[in-house]
Amino acid sequence: MEIIEYNATYEQAVIQLILNIQQHEFGVPVTIADQPDLLDVRNFYCKGYGNFWLALDDKKLIGSSALIDIGNRQAALRKMFVHADYRGKETRTGQQLMDHIIAWCHAHGIDEIYLGTFETLLAAQRFYIKNGFVQVTKQSLPASFPLMQVDNVFFKLVVQR
């Protein structure tokens, strides 16, 4: 497995991966119309200290993750998705993506990472907690945090230096 920065040749694969996981695996009521960022990844994510990464297995897209630079040495974690066949301790795809994100934050002076998720995504919540995230209230999020309509559980990680 390798992690690379976003490459537009994977645009349709990214959309398919994310929508399939959201809609069919987890029943989250979200469509591509609700996520125009996926149609303009470079301009939406790849500015400031934000970025978008792809996890590949022999050039096959198996995962994604992204950071939005929200200013004040803070970032929002978005689009953290791993294909079902590549989840878990055997492949560690999600953990490798998270390790990559945290290393990026260290290298670029990001002190805090925030994220929103959906209440039924319990495995994702356990994963974030295992990685040091703590649950926070919606009211405690930075004003610049980009809220997604379906998110109703929020987390914060203080990046250790």
**Structure-model confidence comparison of residues 13 and 149, the more confident one:** 13
- With beta carbons less than 8 A apart as the criterion, state whether 54 and 6 touch: yes
* pLDDT score at 90: 84
Q: List pLDDT tens digits, range 28-51.
A: 788 999 999 999 999 999 999 999
* Residue 58 dihedral angles phi and psi, to the nearest 5°: 50, 50
- The mean pLDDT of 16-25, rounded to a whole number, is 94
Mean pLDDT calculated for residue range 106-124: 93
Q: Tell me the per-residue pLDDT of 45-88, one tens digit each, with 9 for 90 and over.
A: 999 999 999 999 999 999 999 999 999 999 999 999 999 999 98
Q: How far is CA 64 from CA 56, 71, 73, 116, in A?
A: 9, 22, 22, 16
As a whole number, mean pLDDT of residues 6-13 equals 97
Position 149 scores a pLDDT of 80
Instruction: Output the pLDDT for position 29.
Output: 81
pLDDT of res. 56: 98
Global pTM value: 0.94
- Opening angle at CA 125, ends 153 and 157, nearest 5: 80
Q: Express as a percent the part of the chain with pLDDT over 90.
A: 86
Residue 129, pLDDT above cutoff 80: yes
CA distance 96 to 88: 11
pLDDT, residue 160, reads 78
Non-local (6+) Cβ contacts of 158 within 8 A are 111, 112, 132
Position 161 pLDDT exceeds 80? no
